[in-house]
Amino acid sequence: MSLTTRFAPSPTGELHLGHAFSALFAAERARRAQGRFLLRIEDIDATRSRPAFIAGIERDLAWLGLQWERPVRRQSEHLEDYAAALARLEAMGLIYPCFCSRGDIAREIARSGEAPQGPDGPRYPGSCRALSAAEANERKAAGAAFALRLDMAKATAVAGPLVWTDEAAGTIRAEPELFGDVVLARKDAPSSYHLAVSVDDALQGVGLVTRGIDLFAATHVHRLLQALLDLPVPHWHHHRLLTSPSGRRLAKRDKATSLGALRAAGLTAADVRSMVGL
């Protein structure tokens, strides 16, 4: 079976050298296996995504000499796929509406005097988990905005122990409980990153998920969602992150390493490849 890899940027800024490394890494793994390389636009967050950045991503990748299969999947065009996954988890009794604001959560954490940290910050203290269906429905009917959270204790009990394979790090025991009750649909976005990425990698037949090591912990949650939703389980390769000469992680706001700026300065795709070591 041929290997499918993907590069899945969020169109919230210009691509920089770190993205070039990530995209070239994924494309190279597909090329070596005579497989498929996909581009996926992760634009589920309508408040931060911009069409101009999508055009910029395609221009930059083409400049790097990459080719990808079309049509390009844009998450904002497939909301029904995420809704179907949420409906399935709901039917399993694993998700609940959460009406908390950031302020409510911070106050609850301060009140309880304990704030276990998860990979994404303090874990949600569970305030809305105990709401009765009647109470939740009443608040929904009154127009209150809500997110949908996974009941992590129930979900891990249903899934049982899980492992996943990272090409670089080996066999990893999944520890999604580190995240607590993760958000699967946000108040302002119909799906969270965790849900959309898990659904899409499965739908697109991605067999090797390559991405930066900053997303290593997120894979615990993705592995759990795959188990709950009966999705195929890929392998992962979390790669190193490029840093600036001062050792700082590259970020979208660093204009100097944006691919557009490097192109304007007269660099070629071959220069970029050698700069990122690929």
Give yes or no for a contact between 167 and 237, defined as CB atoms under 8 angstroms apart.
yes
| Span from 2-10, 108-116, 120-128, 162-170 in contact with ligand GLU (CB under 6 A) | 2-10
Q: Is 215 in the site for ligand GLU (CB under 6 A)?
A: yes
The minimum distance between CB 192 and ligand GLU, in angstroms, equals 12
Among 3, 9, 39, 146, binds ligand GLU (CB under 6 A): 9
Determine whether 163 is exposed, middle or buried from the number of CB atoms within 10 Å of its CB (0-12, 13-18, 19+): exposed
Do the Cβ atoms of 148 and 86 come closer than 8 Å?
Answer: yes
Contact window for ligand GLU (CB under 6 A) among 6-14, 78-86, 109-117, 130-138:
6-14
CB of 263 to ligand GLU, least distance (A): 21
CB of 11 or CB of 125, closer to ligand GLU: 11
Q: How far apart are CA 239 and CA 219, in angstroms?
A: 13
If binding is defined by CB under 6 A, does position 8 make contact with ligand GLU?
A: yes
| Pair of tokens at residue 116 | 């276990």
149 or 211: CB nearest ligand GLU: 211
Of the candidate residues 211, 223, 237, 238, the single one contacting ligand GLU (CB under 6 A): 211
Asked whether 18 and 52 are in contact (CB, 8 A), the reply is no
Neighbour count for residue 130 (Cβ, 10 Å) = 8
> Any idea what DSSP says for residue 6?
E
The sheet with strand 95-98 has its strands ordered as: 95-98, 147-150, 183-185
The footprint of ligand GLU on this chain (CB under 6 A) covers a number of residues equal to 7
Among 14, 42, 43, 200, binds ligand GLU (CB under 6 A): 42
Q: Tell me how far, at minimum, the Cβ of 253 lies from ligand GLU, in Å.
A: 14
**Binding string to ligand GLU for residues 186 to 205, with x set by CB under 6 A, is what?**
-----------x--------
Of 8, 29, 30, 28, which Cα lies nearest the Cα of 19?
8
Backbone angles phi, psi at 27, to 5 degrees: -65, -35
How far apart (Å, rounded) are the C-alpha atoms in residues 151 and 138?
Answer: 21
Within 148-187, the residues that bind ligand GLU by CB under 6 A are: none
* Site membership for ligand GLU, residue 128 (CB under 6 A): no
Site of interaction with ligand GLU (CB under 6 A): 8-10, 42, 197, 211, 215
